[in-house]
Structure 1
Amino acid sequence: MTEPRTTPVRVVIVDDHAMFRSGVRGELATVGAGHIEVLAEAADVDEALAAVLAHHPDVVLLDVHLPGGGGVEVMRRLPPALRGTTSFLALSVSDAAEDVIGTIRGGARGYVTKTITGPELVSAIQRVADGDAVFSPRLAGFVLDAFAGSIDVSAVDEDLDRLTEREREVMRLIARGYAYKEVAKELFISIKTVETHMSSVLRKLQLSSRHELTRWASDRRLL
C-alpha cells in the first residue's frame, strides 16, 4: 500500500495561452491549497524543458499542441535522468483519438481535457504523482481500442500530417459544429485567422465544405 504523501505535489504548467495558465494556477492555489505547489509556467517546448531542468517537478501539466514541436517533443527531449522522477499529465482542449494515443505513447501517465473541474484536476495530479494512469472517462476507451487494434492510428496520422497543429485544432472544432466566432474565442485567435486556417484545411484534405469535413473527421473517429 502506498504511503500517504506528506508534501505538496510540485507542478509545472505548460500551455501556450497565458490566460489559461493563469486560470489553472489560480484554481490549483485555491482548490489544491496545501496539496499542490506550482513551481513555474512555460509557453513552448524550450521553456518547458528549461522549467523541468530548473525545478525537477513531480508532475508536468502538459498541453498537447505547443509551439516548437508539441507536448510529445517535450517528453522526447527530457534527459533520461528525469524520466523516472517527473510524470506528465496531458491537459488539452483536444479529445481526438490520435492526440490521446500519441501522447500516451510519447510517455504521458494520463490525459484529461480542459473541461475538467478544479477538484478533479487536483485529484488527477495527485494520482499521477503517485504512479497511477489517469484519463477522462471517454479517452480511456481510445487507449484501449488503440492497443486492441481497432483504431488504425497510422492511417489517421498520415492524413493529419498534412495539417499544422493549429489547423488540426481548428479542424476539430469546425467539424464538431462550432461557428467561426466560437472557434476564435476558444483558441484565442481572430475570426479572420480561423477562416484562413479553415481554407487551408479544406485544401490540404481535398474537401469542399465543412459538412464533408465533419464526415471525414467522424469516419476517422476524431470527434
Structure 2
Amino acid sequence: MTTVVVVDDHAIFRSGLRSDLAADIEVLAEAATVDEAIAQIAQYRPEVVLLDVHLPGGRGGGGREVIEGSATLLAEVRFLALSVSDAAEDVVSVIRAGARGYVTKTSSGEEISAAVRAVSGGDAVFSPRLAGFVLDAFGSAGVAVDDELDRLSAREGEVMRLIARGYSYKETAKQLFISVKTVETHVSAVLRKLQLSSRHELTRWAVNKKLI
C-alpha cells in the first residue's frame, strides 16, 4: 500500500478523489488549509502528499508554504501537486519548493494513482502538457521570471493576472470569490513587491514577462 494525505480546500473534491484512487493507495488523512496540512503531514508522515496549489490559511503561500513548512520531512515525504491551474508561476513555484510532480485535476483517478506510485518510487511526474514547459522553465529565462513571481503569494498571483488582463476590482473579486476590499489589499501588496506604481505599469510588466 502507498500511503497518502490529501490536501484540498474543497470537501467534495477530496471525497471524489478518495473514491477514485486505486485500491493499493491508502488515504491516511485529509486537510483543507495550509496549517491543517502541515500538522497532518507531521502526524501521519505519508509516503505521498496530494497537494492543491491554492489553499487558504498560513501566510497565503498555498501549496508552496505547505512544502516549506514540511521541509524537515522532504527526505521521507514526497509531494505531488494537484491543481486546476497550469499557470507557469504555479508550476515552477511548487517544483522549486520541493514537489516531485505536478498533475492537473482533469486527470483521471487511474492517472493520478499512477502518478502517486511513480512519485512514491522516486520519479518526477508531470501532466503531458506540462512536462515540456517544466524543462524549458528550468533551462531558460523561465526561472528568472519566477524569481520575481516568488515574491507573490498564490492569491496575489491570481489577482495580479486578472488585474493585468484588464479586469476591474469588482470583476476580479467576483472571479475569485473574495471581497473588493481584499482585491484592493492584494493589488497594493503586488505593486509594492514588484516595485510598480500603478496597474498600468503592472500590465506592461506582465506583458513583458509574457504572463498574459
**What corresponds to 2:86 in structure 1?**
95
Amino acid in structure 2 at the alignment position of 1:73: E
Asked if the contact 2:191/2:202 (under 8 Å) is kept, the reply is no
**What corresponds to 2:16 in structure 1?**
27
Cα distance change of structure 1 residues 29 and 77 upon mapping to structure 2, 3 Å threshold:
closer
| 1:53-89 superposed Cα distances (whole Å, 9 cap, x missing partner) | 2112121112334432433333233364x33331101
Determine the C-alpha separation between the residues in 2 that align with 1:159 and 1:98.
Answer: 7
Determine the C-alpha separation between the residues in 1 that align with 2:74 and 2:208.
Answer: 36
Cα distance change of structure 1 residues 218 and 79 upon mapping to structure 2, 3 Å threshold:
closer
Question: What is the CA distance between 1:114 and its match in structure 2?
Answer: 3.3
Matching residue within 191, 196, 211 for 2:184: 196
Structure 2 stretches of 5 or more lacking a match?
none
**What corresponds to 1:10 in structure 2?**
3
**What corresponds to 1:165 in structure 2?**
154
Determine the C-alpha separation between the residues in 2 that align with 1:113 and 1:33.
Answer: 18
Are 2:147 and 1:154 aligned?
no
Amino acid in structure 2 at the alignment position of 1:157: D
Determine the C-alpha separation between the residues in 2 that align with 1:31 and 1:44.
Answer: 22
**What corresponds to 2:74 in structure 1?**
83
Asked if the contact 2:164/2:199 (under 8 Å) is kept, the reply is no
Q: Please, what TM-score do these two structures have when normalized by structure 1? A: 0.72
**RMSD over aligned Cα atoms:** 3.3
> Structure 1 stretches (4+) deviating beyond 4 angstroms?
173-186, 201-204, 212-215
**What corresponds to 2:121 in structure 1?**
130
**Worse-superposed segment, 84-93 or 173-182:** 173-182
Matching residue within 104, 109, 121 for 2:100: 109
**What corresponds to 2:26 in structure 1?**
37
Amino acid in structure 1 at the alignment position of 2:208: D
Helix, strand or coil at the partner of 1:12: strand
Determine the C-alpha separation between the residues in 2 that align with 1:160 and 1:218.
Answer: 18
> How many residue pairs were aligned?
206
| 1:88-118 superposed Cα distances (whole Å, 9 cap, x missing partner) | 0112343232332232122111012334344
Q: Please, what TM-score do these two structures have when normalized by structure 2? A: 0.75
Structure 1 stretches of 5 or more lacking a match?
1-6
Amino acid in structure 2 at the alignment position of 1:45: V
